[in-house]
Amino acid sequence: ASYYNENTIVYLNGKYVKASEAKVDLYGQTMHYGLGVFEGIRSYHTVHGNTKIFKAVEHYDRLRNSAEALNMPYNWHTVDLIDATYEVLRQNNLQDAYIRPLVYGPANMSFNLNSESNIVIEVWEMGKFLGDKLLRVLASPFQRPNPGGFKIEAKACGHYVNSILASQDAKAKGYDEALLTDMHGFVAEGPGANMFYEKDGKLYTPALGHILPGITRATVIELCDELNIAVEEKTFTVDELKQADAAFFCGTAAEVIGWESLDKVKFPLDWNNSLGKVLQQAYKDRVTERSLAPERLDGLGKGLKSKE
Ligand code: PMP
């Protein structure tokens, strides 16, 4: 994959520099121990013809919260980082982009606190992350990290060892993506996305506590509210999930993407008749600032009853 070329510009500690010329210290806690925090953000070309970073404030606020959770110094202001991000997009001539801010430590091989942090903001072009086709999901043998041992609400670099193990295992077994449980065996999230399922015309999603509090998850809940779709946060097992009518992942990179099956058990509801499809469309409208037009969504989300 080519994330950058010799002309690519990144924002690094207040300066706009060439990615190919920027240097990172080899003797730091982030590279060696995974003590770093990052964000995954998207910008979109809107229906108004401009470039808009979706939920920029929420993402940079979460970056700060993640850094504070890991005791990493964080001396930047959300508004300044948003300005810098628009400037990096402009300098790289990107509109529909993935934005990756990373906060990392200076040289320090001890476990002691750092007195400062570095920040880099990288941007690259990104289309669909998990593709467009429905996903065949594996209930992973990997569990999410124990919240008693990690700051699981932080988007910390080291947590992604767990994500990579689960994702690679699922793909090696012939599936598209993994679904991880928490340490108690309850459904948690994907390696890089939250999930919802539909049952009898209502949506359910794992409650906060063992998962990353996804900004897309919050957006989906907001959209449900606007569209009068019932949604409940609760604790449930993989076996319960296999009784669902339909299911989907949601995340900044994944956006809203439906599931075909879980452990080869197919979901009975046609994706095109699911609430997930309604929300997929509504999400696309929200990120591109097209106003919600309920009549365009009419006929979608008919549920299983439409078969009768
Ligand atoms: N869970 C995990 C583990 C993730 O990495 C992500 C992606 N940041 C999500 C959920 C979804 O979060 P968001 O909607 O904020 O991108």
Q: Report yes or no: 72 and 105 within 8 Å, Cβ to Cβ.
A: yes
Which tens digits make up the pLDDT trace of 51-73? 999 999 999 999 999 999 999 99
Contact (Cβ atoms closer than 8 angstroms) between residue 102 and residue 81? no
The CA distance from 149 to 76, in Å, is 28
Closest atom of ligand 1 relative to the 194 alpha carbon: 10
Identify the H or E element spanning 250: strand 246-251
Task: Indicate the CATH number for domain 135-307.
Answer: 3.20.10.10
What is the predicted ipTM? 0.99
Contacts of 306 (CB under 8 A, 6+ apart): 273
* Tokens linked to 209: 């506590």
Q: What pLDDT does residue 307 have? A: 47
Pocket-testing residue among 144, 252, 283, ligand 1, by greatest number of atoms within 8 A of Cβ: 252
145 lines ligand 1 (CB under 6 A): no
3-class secondary structure, 192: coil
- What fold characterizes domain 9-125? D-amino Acid Aminotransferase; Chain A, domain 1 (3.30.470)
In the 8-state DSSP scheme, what is residue 124? E
Q: How many whole angstroms from 271 Cα to the centroid of ligand 1?
A: 22
Per the residue annotation, which of 23, 128, 155, 266 is the catalytic one?
A: 155
206 lines ligand 1 (CB under 6 A): no
Strand 255-262 versus strand 135-143 pairing type:
parallel
155 belongs to the catalytic site: yes
36: CB partners within 8 A, 6+ apart: 29, 30, 72, 102, 103, 104, 105, 156, 157, 158
The CA distance from 128 to 256, in Å, is 10
Atom of ligand 1 nearest to the CA of 59: 15
59 Cβ contact list (under 8 Å, min separation 6):
39, 40, 41, 53, 101, 215, 252
Could you give the C-alpha distances from 39 to 4, 45, 57, 149, in angstroms and in order?
A: 18, 20, 12, 21
Which region, left, alpha or beta, applies to residue 93 given φ > 0 means left and ψ of -120 to 50 means alpha? left
Handedness of CA 109, 112, 114, 115 (dihedral sign): negative
CA-nearest residue for atom 3, ligand 1, is: 192
Q: Is the CB of 214 under 6 A from ligand 1?
A: yes
Residue 156, ligand 1, Cβ within 6 A: no
Ligand 1 binding pocket mutation candidate from 66, 179, 194, 256 (most atoms within 8 A of CB): 194
Whose C-alpha lies nearest to ligand 1, atom 5? Answer: 192
Residue-level length of the chain: 308
- In which residue ranges of the chain is pLDDT below 50? 307-308
Write down the pLDDT at residue 292. Answer: 75
CA 306 to ligand 1 center in whole angstroms: 33
217 lines ligand 1 (CB under 6 A): yes
Question: Which one of 99, 216, 250 would you pick to mutate in the ligand 1 pocket, going by the greatest count of ligand atoms within 8 A of its CB?
Answer: 216
Dist CA 234 CA 98 (whole Å): 31
What is the pLDDT, as a whole number, of residue 2?
85
Closest atom of ligand 1 relative to the 39 alpha carbon: 8
Q: Is 202 helix (H, G, I), strand (E, B) or coil?
A: strand
Listed by start position, the domains of the chain span 9-125, 135-307
Q: Give yes or no for residue 159 CB within 6 A of ligand 1.
A: no
pTM higher than the cut 0.90: yes
Tell me what pLDDT residue 308 has.
43
Q: What is the CA radius of gyration of the chain?
A: 20
Q: Three-state SS for 246?
A: strand
Pick the closest to residue 249 from 211, 287, 285 (CA basis).
Answer: 211
Give pLDDT tens digits for 99-115.
999 999 999 999 999 99
- Count the neighbouring beta carbons within 10 Å of the beta carbon of residue 133: 12
C-beta 40 within 6 A of ligand 1: yes
